[in-house]
Amino acid sequence: MTGVKRNSKQHLMLFSGRAYPELAQRVSDLMDVELVPSRLITYANSEIYVRFEESVRGCDAFVIQSHPAPVNEWLMEQLIMVDALKRASAKRITVVAPCFPYARQDKKHLGREPISARLVSDLFRTAGADRIMSVDLHAAQIQGFFNGPLDHLSGLPVLADYVEKKYGGDDMVVVSPDAGRVRLADNWSDRLTVPLAIIHKRHDPTKANQVKVHEVVGDVEGRTCLLVDDMIDTGGTICQAANALLDRGAAKVIACATHPILSGPAQERLNETPFEEIIFTSTLPIPEGIDIPKMTVLSIAPLLARAIREVFEDGSVTSLFTNKSHSGPQG
């Protein structure tokens, strides 16, 4: 026989950026795989330097980086990490971006606008990424932007398990805060086997220059309303929706979202709105100084750890969502 045979065992290695090292460490602990020691420096002129302290040749690399503010800095850091791995001969590189950056810029609304989510996908590919893993993309079409496999994980099982355990005995209705989240709310409705309601925003024809009137389509009176969204940023949409439900006789309102961006006036708005509870997953760190007493954060680390394991072992990521996931409040 010609040629040379060699033992080529797969070698999984985990890497963490600086945006949210606690999440990466939690994933590392759950997988019983140590994070690769890395030297990451931001120079005085804001340029980023990366060097890994161990050989990565031939490894299956998973680069974990969340993208809170400042998004551009953490995106650039992850791109440089991927480039460093490619140049150091990593066999396969998977970008783990729990909250995909620029996901809300997934299409052109007006002329001369960018499609920034596509640009980010292209940047990851050019840097050397073979695969992307993300949770609850703002628009499912982003899966097609990346020229390679994209594992689109769902935070719904993590959130729904918690809601079922705590509010399972309530007369509940799932509510979409606007027309854009109807499909997400429909998935929640199927999972919890409860009715669905929708909030329709329209201009008030009786008042000049009035922004919008919120019409509730569905029966919410006397019920526990579960408002669902993929993210809460400034809190405007979700708080207006909650007030509309309470005005129409809802017994209590719970908010559920995967990504806690929480920028600008989010804290003030969420605290002023009489939510029963506001539930997030830990795809992003809670911004420093944010104090929302009714907020609960569920760890997304078990889901990420299981997905990474399935990818590494050439298993099925889809199987993660055929059975219920289990998670609890973040420690």
Instruction: Say yes or no to pLDDT of 4 above 60.
Output: no
How much is the pLDDT for 100?
A: 98
pTM above 0.85, yes or no: yes
Binding residues for D-ribose 5-phosphate: 229, 233-237
Q: Is 186 helix (H, G, I), strand (E, B) or coil?
A: helix
Residue 260 CA to residue 232 CA, distance in Å, equals 6
Pick from 216, 217, 172: nearest CA to 194: 172
Tell me what the mean pLDDT of segment 269-281 comes to.
98
Over the stretch 11-58, which tens digit does the pLDDT of each residue have? 999 999 999 999 999 999 999 999 999 999 999 999 999 999 999 999
pLDDT of residue 203: 63
Phi, psi dihedral angles at 130 (to 5 degrees): -95, -20
Active-site residues, by number, are 201
| Nearest in space to 260 (alpha carbons), one of 240, 243, 285 | 285
> Per the structure block, which two tokens stand in for 193?
């086997």
Residue 326 banded pLDDT, cuts 50, 70, 90? very low
* Domain architecture of the chain: domains with CATH: 12-153 (3.40.50.2020), 156-298 (3.40.50.2020)
How is residue 101 annotated by DSSP? T
What per-residue confidence (pLDDT) applies to 121?
98
Residue 243 CB neighbour total at 10 angstroms: 16
Residue 99 has pLDDT above 90, yes or no: yes
Q: Quick one: pLDDT at residue 318?
A: 86
List, in sequence order, every residue forming a beta bridge with 41; answer none if it has no partner: 49
pLDDT digits (tens, 9 = 90+) for 242-266: 999 999 999 999 999 999 999 999 9
Residue 101 · residue 66 · CB < 8 Å:
no
Per residue in 182-221, pLDDT (tens digit) is: 999 999 999 999 999 999 877 666 665 444 768 899 999 9
Residue 154 has pLDDT above 90, yes or no: yes
Asked if 286 contacts 330 with a C-beta cutoff of 8 angstroms, the reply is no
Q: Is the pLDDT of residue 139 over 50?
A: yes
Count of positions (residues) in the chain = 331
Binding-site sequence positions for Mg(2+): 138, 178
pLDDT attached to residue 261: 98
* Known binding residues for ATP: 45-47, 104-105
Dig out the tokens for 24 from the structure.
């990466």
For 107-125, how does the pLDDT look when each residue is reduced to its tens digit (9 = 90+)?
998 999 999 999 999 999 9
Q: 78 and 65 in contact (C-beta within 8 Å)?
A: yes
* Digit-coded pLDDT (tens) for 210-226: 447 688 999 999 999 99
Q: How far apart are the C-alpha atoms of 68 and 20, rounded to whole Å?
A: 8
Q: What is the pLDDT of the chain when averaged over all its residues?
A: 93
pLDDT of the residue at 14: 98
Q: What are 46-88's pLDDT values in tens digits?
A: 999 999 999 999 999 999 999 999 999 999 999 999 999 999 9
- Chain centroid offset of residue 310 CA: 19
- My answer on whether omega of the bond before 329 falls inside 30° of 0, hence cis, is no
